[in-house]
């Protein structure tokens, strides 16, 4: 039926009632079969809860592209989402956390939220009743989709521990995680009560899902508590376990016996390889391909889902042109061209690779519009990769056919990303005070049109042919067309050609990365929302830098863009000061900006600081910036010194 739907006009998918319409399909014979039996999609409903109807929507768009495995991430540090009759506190307590979503859109602060405090009410969350689960299971079965439930353990388990502290190595108090930075989130494998809890919980879960697999997580297990916990140390001694990696393996192997007893096969993330793989386990390889290759060589079944190719929560385009969602990259072309079976495997070993899966973690995604934006069109790439043989794949053909899929999504009112079709703006600052601009697209065959006066580009604008230069402050806007139809969104960036370009830079700050090699702070190369962008100047400690002009220059403002990336100790300066000098020796303060609150805010974004003052003639300026030191209590890197990352000192 899905094949017939694919042959019908796009209006077939409209939410609006179609009248006076005759639909037809070509008279064809189709002989087709999938290359891989596992073609999956994972939805994380722990970080943010999504309703029963939204989960059904996910199943529907899987069915439309013939995906057949729905991996349902039902528990984590931030929420327990499935009713367990024997343990009611899992949904009374574990399904709810303090609501701090108001900060998400501005600073993407998932990795820097303060923990719940005594007296604060946990009001954000939700869960599925067992009747809800049965309804969704039946809905999926009717569409030939199997559901793989995941109850993450022994790590990523703070929601469970907050509900039943006796399964932890610590005494608490415990609260459901408000964001990504948590401690004491690991089950205690030294206690028998832990295995009793696991057996009872998994028993109820497996009874609800009449399919072959049970996913137990096993990833990113924080073993610090195990190193000092007396019960864990005794368990290691009794079982002759060399280290905590083997203790995790002991835990996973015991859990596998529970799963196998119920007639199911156990799946775990590739960390379950550490310390020795459970006898019958299937490995889901996410930290690259290495874990999957190792498991296949040992004769274990594998699902390939390396983050670079298969993580839908990663950005799919230019940092500055995408929503502030995701922290790395997974481009559509890479997802489509990913070779599922590594050339390093023999033919027999390759038979253990069951297929691939696209994973959508929802740390940054709290509404369905964001879910669909990050899912489409990469879900189509996963679907085609899992169905089509490597020899039959064609990137250009795929991206041409995607245009029709976009029209289907338009009919359904779904948000999606055109990132691969958008014009990407590349720039390189030149020593003569100009900037070289290049425009490119991930997809071939697009026509790029642009403007340099701030107006919206159209087919009557400048058609891009080759790189070009700008010599004055310019707002560039560009978009793409295919057969004279606009496909891409409008890409926009302002390039300030400022008065400090060409000045001599004197660093008075001792520890600055790259300072001796380049005048990064005045080279007209601007940093993107990316910690690894080489256009950021890394400053350890406070900034103290002089800019010496060739001649007396009138100035009246300083603009500084700082990167906030607090998960990596990168903080906005507490204050910035600018001083002016006529002779380059004696400096007078021209202005300052104090931003203590902004500097102590956690998150991931760029922050622009502007200092304006009376027009002043100077031969040199001095810029000082105070770093956050120490990082405040309650922050992930509390007690450490922060870094300052700035890209350009823009002087007008």
- Which residues are tagged catalytic? 220
- 161 by DSSP, 3-state: which? helix
* Rounded Cα distance, 139 and 143, in Å: 7
Distance CA 547, CA 402 (A): 51
Q: Measure the CA–CA gap between 327 and 364, rounded to whole angstroms.
A: 9
Q: How far apart are CA 286 and CA 283, in angstroms?
A: 9
For residues 309-321, one letter each, b for 16 or more C-beta atoms within 10 angstroms of the residue's C-beta and e for the rest, the string is bbbbbbbbbbebb
Cα diameter, the chain: 86
CB 645 within 8 A of CB 537: yes
If you count them, how many residues does the chain have? 652
- Going from the C-alpha of 184 to that of each of 44, 271, 499, 575, 643, the distances in angstroms are 21, 19, 52, 35, 27
Give the integer Cα–Cα distance in Å for 187 and 200: 15
Output the DSSP codes for 495-527. E---TTTT-EEEE--S-BTTTTT--GGGSS---
∠ CA 75-79-84, nearest 5°, is 60
> Residue 77 carries which DSSP code?
T
Judge whether 249 and 223 are in contact, CB under 8 Å.
no
Backbone torsions φ then ψ of 331, nearest 5 degrees: -80, 150
In 3D, which of 507, 519, 512, 564 has the Cα closest to residue 541? 512
Using the CB atoms, write b or e for 621-648: b if 16+ within 10 Å. Answer: bbbbbbbbeebeeebbbeeeebbbbbbb
């Amino acid at each position: 039926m899905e094949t017939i739907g694919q042959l019908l006009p796009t209006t077939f998918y409209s939410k609006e009632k179609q009248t006076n319409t005759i639909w037809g399909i070509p008279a064809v014979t189709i002989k087709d079969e999938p290359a891989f039996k596992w073609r999956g999609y994972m939805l994380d409903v722990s970080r943010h809860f999504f309703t029963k109807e939204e989960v059904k929507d996910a199943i529907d768009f899987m069915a439309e592209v013939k995906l057949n495995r729905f991996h349902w991430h039902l528990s984590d540090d931030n929420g327990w989402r499935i009713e367990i009759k024997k343990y009611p506190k899992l949904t009374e307590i574990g399904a709810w956390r303090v609501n701090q979503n108001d900060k998400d859109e501005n600073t993407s602060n998932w990795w820097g939220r303060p923990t719940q405090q005594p007296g604060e009410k946990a009001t954000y969350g939700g869960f599925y009743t067992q009747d809800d689960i049965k309804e969704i299971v039946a809905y999926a079965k009717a569409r030939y989709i199997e559901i793989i439930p995941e109850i993450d353990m022994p790590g990523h388990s703070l929601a469970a521990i907050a509900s039943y502290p006796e399964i932890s190595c610590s005494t608490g108090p415990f609260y459901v995680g408000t964001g990504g930075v948590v401690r004491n989130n690991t089950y205690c494998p030294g206690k028998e009560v832990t295995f009793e809890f696991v057996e009872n919980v998994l028993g109820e879960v497996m009874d609800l899902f009449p399919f072959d697999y049970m996913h137990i997580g096993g990833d990113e297990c924080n073993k610090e508590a195990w190193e000092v916990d007396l019960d864990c140390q005794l368990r290691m001694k009794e079982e002759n376990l060399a280290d905590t990696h083997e203790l995790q393996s002991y835990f996973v192997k015991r859990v596998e016996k529970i799963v196998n007893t119920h007639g199911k096969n156990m799946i775990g993330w590739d960390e379950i390889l550490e310390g020795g793989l459970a006898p019958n386990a299937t490995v889901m390889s996410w930290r690259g391909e290495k874990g999957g290759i190792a498991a296949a060589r040992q004769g274990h079944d594998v699902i390939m889902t390396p983050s670079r190719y298969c993580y839908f929560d990663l950005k799919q385009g230019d940092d500055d042109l995408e929503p502030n969602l995701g922290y790395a990259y997974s481009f559509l072309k890479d997802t489509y061209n990913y070779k599922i079976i590594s050339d390093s495997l023999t033919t027999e070993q390759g038979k253990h690779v069951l297929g691939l899966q696209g994973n959508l973690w929802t740390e940054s995604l709290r509404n369905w519009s964001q879910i669909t934006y990050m899912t489409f069109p990469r879900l189509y790439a996963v679907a085609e990769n899992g169905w089509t043989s490597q020899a039959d794949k064609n990137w250009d053909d795929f991206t041409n056919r995607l245009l029709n899929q976009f029209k289907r999504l338009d009919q359904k009112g779904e948000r999606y990303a055109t990132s691969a079709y958008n014009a990407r703006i590349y720039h390189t600052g030149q020593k003569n005070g100009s900037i070289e601009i290049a425009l490119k697209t991930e997809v071939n065959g697009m026509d790029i049109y642009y403007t340099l006066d701030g107006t919206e580009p159209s087919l009557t604008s400048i058609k891009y042919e080759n790189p070009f230069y700008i010599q004055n402050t310019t707002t560039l806007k560009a978009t793409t067309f295919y057969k004279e139809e606009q496909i891409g969104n409008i890409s926009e960036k302002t390039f300030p050609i400022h008065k400090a370009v060409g000045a001599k830079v004197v660093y008075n700050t001792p520890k600055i990365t790259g300072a001796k090699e380049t005048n990064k702070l005045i080279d007209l190369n601007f940093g993107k929302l990316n910690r690894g962008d080489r256009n950021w100047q890394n400053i350890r400690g406070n900034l103290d830098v002089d800019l010496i002009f060739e001649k007396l220059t009138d100035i009246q403002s300083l603009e500084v863009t700082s990167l906030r990336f607090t998960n990596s100790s990168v903080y906005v300066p507490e204050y910035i000061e600018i001083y002016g000098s006529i002779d380059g020796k004696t400096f007078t303060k021209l202005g300052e900006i104090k931003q203590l609150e902004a500097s102590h805010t956690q998150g991931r974004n760029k922050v622009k600081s502007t200092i304006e003052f009376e027009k002043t003639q100077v031969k040199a300026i001095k810029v000082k910036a105070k770093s956050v030191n120490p990082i405040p209590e309650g922050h992930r890197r509390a007690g450490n010194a922060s870094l300052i990352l700035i890209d350009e000192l823009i002087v007008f």
